[in-house]
Amino acid sequence: MASSSQIIYQPYVAGSRGALKAGIAITCRSAEDGLRRAERAFESGSILGAQIVRMTHDDDAGELGEPEYLGQVGRVPEAD
């Protein structure tokens, strides 16, 4: 089974009425790179929070696996 994974930096910004709104997700080289980006953006005030997530893709089946949350800063949406 061939699979690949990506580390995603998902920022959150202010939406309507103070709600969190997902910003543009960015692929990172590593979890550490994603956390550095998140911390810098949070400290500068350009985001309200961010999550760093590993997504695994089963290339043979064409399916995404469950997200693996590697870290977060600031406010992020509550898990369902």
Do the domain assignments include residue 19?
Answer: yes
CA atoms within 13 A on the CB side of 70: 18
Do the domain assignments include residue 74?
Answer: no
Do the domain assignments include residue 5?
Answer: no
Q: Report pLDDT for 80.
A: 58
Residue range of the domain that includes 50: 13-68
* Residues 77, 31: Cα–Cα separation, whole Å: 20
Domain count, the chain: 1
Q: Report pLDDT for 32.
A: 95
Q: What are the tens digits of pLDDT across the range 15-52?
A: 998 899 999 999 999 999 999 999 999 999 999 999 99
Do the domain assignments include residue 36?
Answer: yes
Q: What are the tens digits of pLDDT across the range 42-75?
A: 999 999 999 999 999 887 777 888 899 999 999 9
Of 69, 65, 78, 13, residue with least CA distance to 41: 13
Q: Strand 3-14 vs strand 26-28: parallel, antiparallel, or unpaired?
A: antiparallel
